[in-house]
Amino acid sequence: MRNIVLTGLPGSGKTTLGLAAAELAGLDFRDMDAEIERAAGMSVSEIFAAWGEARFREMETEEARRAAEATGAVISTGGGVVLREDNMRLLAKNGFIIFIDRDPTAIAGDVECAGRPLLAEGAARLFGISKERRPLYLKSAHAALANDGGFQEALGKLMLLVNGEHPGKGFGVIGDPIGHTRSPEIHKAVFAAHGLGLAEGSGDAAAWDYKAMHVKRGGLGAFVRAARESGLRGFNVTIPHKQDIMDFLDDIDEEARLCGAVNTVVIKEGRLTGHNTDMGGLQEAIRDAGFDYGGSRVTVLGTGGAAAGVAYKAAACGAARVRALGRRKERAEALAANVRRVAPGIAEEAGADMGTGAGKRGGLARRGEVLGLEMSPDALAEAAADTDILVNATPLGMEGAGDFESLGFLEALPRGALVCDLVYGRSKTALLKKAEEIGIKGINGLGMLVYQALLADELYMGRTLDRRRVAATIIGRFSR
Ligand code: NAP
């Protein structure tokens, strides 16, 4: 693994950005100046005072040689490292060098930098150094990262680079947190099954690479700008960005617009188009289990992005009744009202009246109903008794997210019902175990995850795939 080597002026953010990036990516962090200080037993200023700059530069080259031996580390360099070409040659051997380009005026005005020895001599010295070194930073770097916005913006750009997403390459998934994601395994398996991205070191391998990329809330704008510039070919989107990403796209397809969430973005000729393959993915997994939304009574637990998509898709596919149960009643009601407004099947059947809003049951009764309810024990039991397909679209059951207080409501389900738990971290959540115990069929979120990835890959690859066959292989491998 190549090192990520950060260069730039003192105060440009090399150490703070480097530390944060190393932590997010699970890499080692090395601060060259701190290593020199540790070895010498004195600070850089003391070394300068005692032995002079020439000796310090010798020590810096020795440290560059040691640092270059590292693999997969984020290395923060001293501001003057570029003064010796030898240093940069050493660091470039196994390093991707990123110049953190921060305006000296911003550094001089930054209270965090006020105590730096360089600024003690006045801002004029910093401007002089910048004039002398900027050409050297630019010349020796593989990429320049403009640190001209906030910290999160710079970190978003850096993460894209840290994850190997520099010009002209591959795919990935963005989210926060992102450590748990299985998307890289799945997409790489799909690409490999179609002979793509196999030759290590070739252009094809890079073009079909797939990485997890940690993008924090608020970092989306910076990420999208960097993605456009880098030549990234597409990316998947997970919590918490599925709704927010829509503000940054050039086009959004109809299903994603109606679901109110995007999980797949295709980048072509600089344009970003958003799609939603989650709901199609779940539908495929439900079909694999021998069920269909058409004519079914569907109950979804949760009122977030996934729940809204399930409710919309079920309604659009002609479900006999759709209930959304949430811990906040107003959110459940809003979700149901929105589905009643947008689901094409309902609007069509109900006529012009139904297109205008909730509550006009006359039209809906012919086709079905979409209801939003509070997730109380009574409402759960009542809904379960009138359900063919129950979908858990809350994080309950996910490791660390808590669990249902009681699963007694499952007893009310008709025996021929299906329970789908979108949680995919564990093969059997408490919900699925209980369903099995009482003889009700259950599926976890893995099928949905794999199918949504396959549908995304069809968009990335521009062709239809033998989804059932590939999904069966991947699900089989992951379930072992
Ligand atoms: P989201 O937008 O954050 O929505 C989460 C929903 O769960 C919200 O309605 C939230 O209620 C509710 N919730 C959270 N904690 C709860 C608790 N302790 N008790 C009751 N309700 C609670 O997330 P999402 O994108 O819809 O995802 C939901 C779940 O689906 C996640 O577990 C996710 O991993 C899973 N998922 C799986 C796949 C797959 O491929 N298998 C795809 C997408 C999503 P409030 O609104 O009141 O906070």
Residue 343 pLDDT > 80, yes or no?
A: no
**Pair of tokens at residue 329:** 């009643």
Domains 3-153 and 290-444 fall in the same CATH topology: yes
Q: Name 373's Cβ contacts closer than 8 Å, sequence gap at least 6.
A: 323, 324, 325, 326, 329, 332, 379, 383
Burial class (CB in 10 A: 0-12, 13-18, 19+), 201: exposed
Once rounded to an integer, what is the mean pLDDT over residues 210-215?
A: 81
Atom from ligand 1 closest to the CA of residue 243: 2
In angstroms, the CA 384 to CA 463 distance is 40
What's the pLDDT tens digit per position in 163-183? 743 323 689 998 877 767 889
Once rounded to an integer, what is the mean pLDDT over residues 309-329?
A: 93
Please tell me which residue, 209 or 379, carries the higher pLDDT value: 379
Cα-based distances in Å from 74 to 4, 15, 28, 47, 275: 5, 10, 6, 25, 35
Task: Assign 404 to helix, strand or coil.
Answer: coil
Burial class (CB in 10 A: 0-12, 13-18, 19+), 419: buried
Q: What percent of the chain has pLDDT over 70?
A: 88
Query: Which CATH superfamily is 3-153 part of?
Result: P-loop containing nucleotide triphosphate hydrolases (3.40.50.300)
What is the per-residue pLDDT for 203?
66
- Partnered with residue 273 across adjacent β-strands are 251, 266
Atom from ligand 1 closest to the CA of residue 425: 34
Cα-based distances in Å from 248 to 225, 333, 419: 9, 28, 35
Q: Name 133's Cβ contacts closer than 8 Å, sequence gap at least 6.
A: 9, 79, 80, 82, 83
What's the pLDDT tens digit per position in 81-109? 999 999 999 999 988 899 999 999 999 88
The residue whose CB lies within 8 Å of the most ligand 1 atoms, and thus the one to mutate among 422, 431, 444, 454, is 422
What's the pLDDT tens digit per position in 122-152? 778 888 999 999 999 999 998 888 999 889 8
Atom from ligand 1 closest to the CA of residue 242: 25
Q: What is the DSSP letter of 78?
A: P
User: What separation in Å is there between the alpha carbon of 26 and the centre of ligand 1?
Assistant: 26
> What architecture does CATH give domain 290-444?
3-Layer(aba) Sandwich (3.40)
Once rounded to an integer, what is the mean pLDDT over residues 4-25?
A: 92
Residue 355 pLDDT > 60, yes or no?
A: no
Return the minimum-mean-pLDDT range out of 382-391, 392-401, 412-421, 460-469.
392-401
CATH topology of domain 167-276: Rossmann fold (3.40.50)
How confident is the prediction for the chain on average, in pLDDT? Answer: 87
pLDDT band of residue 393 (cuts 50, 70, 90) is very high
Q: Which residue carries 């659009």 as its tokens?
A: 316
User: What separation in Å is there between the alpha carbon of 366 and the centre of ligand 1?
Assistant: 31
What's the pLDDT tens digit per position in 25-71? 778 999 999 999 999 999 998 998 899 999 999 999 999 999 999 98
Residue 405 has a CB neighbour count (10 Å cut-off) of: 8
What is the per-residue pLDDT for 167?
27
Domain boundaries, the chain: 3-153, 167-276, 290-444
In angstroms, the CA 236 to CA 215 distance is 12
Please tell me which residue, 369 or 216, carries the higher pLDDT value: 369
In angstroms, the CA 217 to CA 241 distance is 7
What is the per-residue pLDDT for 31?
97
The residues that are catalytic are: 242
Beta 28-31 vs 3-7: how paired, if at all? unpaired
For residues 471 and 450, the answer to whether their CB atoms sit within 8 Å is: yes
Residue 359 pLDDT > 90, yes or no?
A: no
This prediction has a pTM of 0.70
At what angle are helices 467-479 and 278-288 packed, to 10 degrees? 80
User: What separation in Å is there between the alpha carbon of 291 and the centre of ligand 1?
Assistant: 23
Residue 275 pLDDT > 90, yes or no?
A: yes
Residue 378 pLDDT > 80, yes or no?
A: yes
Return the minimum-mean-pLDDT range out of 231-235, 250-254, 348-352, 400-404.
348-352
